[in-house]
Amino acid sequence: MLHSKCLSGLKKTKIFSGDYMANYYQDFDASVPSFSRHELQSVENFEADLKILARQWVLLDHISSFSAVGDYKVFQLAGESVVIVRNEQGFSGFLNFCLHRGAKLCNKSHGRQSAFTCPYHAWRYDLTGVLQQATACTSKRITVGESRLKEVSVRVEAGLIFASLQAEHSTFSASAELFAPFLAWHNTSAAKIAGSKRFVAKGNWKLFADNFFECYHCRVLHPEMCELAVHPKITSTISAVQHEQYMAVAQDWYEKVAALGHPVGERQSLMPEQEHFSVMYRVPVDSVSLTLSKTGQLVAPLMGQAKVADGGETFGYLGPLTLLNIYNDYGYSLRLNPISVDETELILTWFVAGDAVEGKDYQFAEVSWFWLTTVQQDLEIIELARQGTSSRFYQPGDYTMLEADSAGFASWYRRQLQQQNQIKVPDLV
Ligand code: FES
Ligand code: FE
């Protein structure tokens, strides 16, 4: 699916300061096996996964989805229903159940409210989640005006809304530092959502993440991608000559774009604390294509501060569930939402400049064509992987060097699983 670098490295690595793939390979651990049937199918294991995922930050939405105070949306986050609401202070998030006897507070996917009133016995909460009314309540543990719904961490960076059930705020700050210069240049604050697509597919979430951390499959599955984009992870699977050609193209592009004052590669993989990682960098789509569209030409107005298209791709991921790509004309994010041990939701979202008008400045079908095509190809092969790995006789295979990030992800995941019992998980406040 998505095609990134250096999860295996998890340390600062300059893209153009040396051989890209050498950097990518350097920490590849050939002894890491792929996911086992137990890791992919055990219900008990999935419960453990949700605890790991509760500590991750996830990109949920864009501020343009909340145009007025009181606008709220309900999301699934690490197996929990959460409400994100805009209020006078900004944004708040809380778990979607009442403090009294736990009834679900918001039963619609979105709406606008001046307060949240529980449908069961009508306890009322303000837009920050503080209890405002609890008729006849004598509980010593509940205080009207003080008690609040279980809080979910929400952070807004350049118009993008991130949330986590239990992550430390400091881990977001470190990631935000990495992302901020790129997001500011693309002016994602002023972007808007052009549209989104959802797929619910069979398969454990790790099968999907495993797919998007490697591009070994790209040459086999994604002919359009190989035609349009000459990413190093693609060229390295084709031939050394082509990869060398890419490196030359990338070096020229890097110099040209740096002279324009546009942000360039030179980015890092970041893992401020062991349970978190994030990556962001900027590379050329290729020497000809300006963006990932059917023709390689722009399909929407320039976004952000760019005065001319430079054909760059800003690429980032935040933890194992969020992927973000931004081109000169549109942005794209993919979120994995693990639903059950054998079911995963994929939420694909496209962003364009906030003042772009659909039908006049862009067609959503053109903006979404590339990643929709690519993800559908991935979904087909992931289903086959799901079927094969379901065999009682399946034994985990070995990753190749071209799947170094997937191997890095599998190692990271197993470390989290091992450490889980030792990590002191802060309770929701
Ligand atoms: Fe919400 Fe009783 S469960 S008021
Ligand atoms: Fe793919």
**Taking all residues of the chain, what is their mean pLDDT, rounded to a whole number?**
87
CA of 85 to the centre of ligand 2 (A): 34
Distances (CA, A) of 52 to 32, 113, 215: 20, 33, 25
Atom of ligand 1 lying closest to residue 119 CA = 1
Reduced to 3 states (helix: H, G, I; strand: E, B; else coil), residue 26 is coil
Nearest CA to ligand 1 atom 2: 121
Pairing of strands 312-318, 322-326: antiparallel
Q: Residue 426 pLDDT more than 50?
A: no
pLDDT of 37: 95
Nearest CA to ligand 1 atom 3: 101
Which residues have C-beta atoms less than 6 Å from ligand 1? 98, 100-101, 103, 118, 120-121, 123
CA of 83 to the centre of ligand 1 (A): 17
pLDDT tens column, 227-277: 776 665 566 556 666 667 777 777 888 888 888 989 886 556 665 446 777
CA of 222 to the centre of ligand 2 (A): 7
Atom of ligand 1 lying closest to residue 105 CA = 1
Ligand nearest to the CA of 116: 1
Q: Is 339 exposed, middle or buried (0-12, 13-18, 19+ CB in 10 A)?
A: middle
- CA atoms of 172 and 163, how far apart (whole Å): 9
Residue 16 contacts residue 265 (beta carbons within 8 Å): yes
Ligand nearest to the CA of 218: 2
**Cα atoms in the Cβ-side hemisphere of radius 13 Å centred on 263:** 23
Indicate the range of 41-55, 235-249, 329-343 predicted with least confidence.
235-249
Nearest CA to ligand 1 atom 4: 121
Residue 402 contacts residue 237 (beta carbons within 8 Å): yes
Q: Is 391 exposed, middle or buried (0-12, 13-18, 19+ CB in 10 A)?
A: exposed
Q: Which two tokens stand for residue 100?
A: 């009294």
ipTM of predicted assembly, 2 dp: 0.97
Q: Is 238 exposed, middle or buried (0-12, 13-18, 19+ CB in 10 A)?
A: middle
Ligand nearest to the CA of 382: 2
Q: Which two tokens stand for residue 215?
A: 């591009």
Looking at the chain, how many residues does it have? 429
Give the residues across from 330 on adjacent strands: none
CA of 225 to the centre of ligand 2 (A): 9
Share of the chain above pLDDT 90, in %: 63
Q: Give the mutation target among 94, 95, 100 for probing the ligand 1 site: most ligand atoms within 8 A of CB.
A: 100
Q: Residue 2 pLDDT more than 80?
A: no
**Cα atoms in the Cβ-side hemisphere of radius 13 Å centred on 314:** 27
Closest residue by Cα to residue 304 from 252, 363, 267, 263? 263
- CA atoms of 340 and 338, how far apart (whole Å): 6
Residues 191-207: what's their mean pLDDT? 97
Residue 59 contacts residue 318 (beta carbons within 8 Å): yes
Residue 407 contacts residue 29 (beta carbons within 8 Å): yes
Residue found under tokens 């307060």: 115
